[in-house]
């Protein structure tokens, strides 16, 4: 596996080694020892989640606070998404900055989003199956979010905003400054 550091400390794009032959392909999608060495931290995943969405669905930006904060290892099994992590660590030099990466069933890339980041994705293909590992269990009381169109973050989703499909909850998320008060 190839671990590519991003401008956001702790976030990595992970490219697996894909072995192709006449039968198709084989790849190791996760190996705890390789992963921990690649991200240079101890992460123990305890929960797997999967979602299926259609083109234009935007999920996020979500995070968990306090003792329920979560690191995520995300990937796309089928389709293509623009995956986004936003640094919400108050004392970070990259606070409020984001990293975006295209993940697809074709490129097999993964994105590691450590604790202290908001996360979201936009489906670019007709449909997408999104899969992710979490290092902590979900806790509704610790759930938070930031508006996908926050002006200070200024995420370039590369998609017409009038065509986005967004949950009612995500339509009313606070901006980065108001969310910061909840931490």
- Catalytic sites, residue numbers: 62, 132
174 burial (CB, 10 Å; 0-12 / 13-18 / 19+) is middle
Classify each residue of 23-37 as buried b or exposed e, where b means 16 or more C-beta atoms within 10 Å of its C-beta: eeeeeeeeeeeebee
Q: Which residues contact 140 (CB under 8 A, 6 or more apart)?
A: none
130 - beta bridge partners?
51, 76
In sequence order, the 6+-apart residues with CB closer than 8 A to the CB of 104 are 76, 79, 80, 81, 125
Number of C-beta neighbours around residue 182 at 10 A: 9
């Amino acid at each position: 596996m190839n671990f590519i550091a991003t401008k956001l400390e702790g976030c990595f794009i992970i490219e697996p080694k894909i072995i192709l032959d006449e039968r198709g392909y084989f790849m190791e999608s996760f190996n705890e020892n390789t992963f921990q060495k690649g991200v240079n931290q101890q992460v123990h995943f305890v929960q797997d989640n999967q979602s299926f969405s259609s083109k234009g669905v935007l999920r996020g930006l979500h995070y968990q606070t306090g003792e329920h904060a979560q690191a995520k290892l995300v990937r796309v099994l089928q389709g293509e998404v623009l995956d986004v992590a936003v640094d919400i660590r108050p004392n970070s030099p990259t606070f409020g900055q984001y990293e975006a990466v295209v993940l697809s069933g074709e490129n097999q890339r993964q994105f590691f989003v450590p604790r202290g980041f908001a996360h979201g994705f936009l489906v670019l293909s007709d449909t997408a199956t999104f899969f992710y590992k979490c290092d902590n269990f979900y806790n509704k009381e610790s759930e938070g979010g930031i508006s996908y169109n926050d002006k200070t973050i200024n995420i370039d989703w590369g998609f017409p905003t009038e065509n986005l499909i967004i949950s009612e909850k995500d339509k009313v998320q606070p901006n980065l400054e108001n969310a910061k008060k909840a931490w």
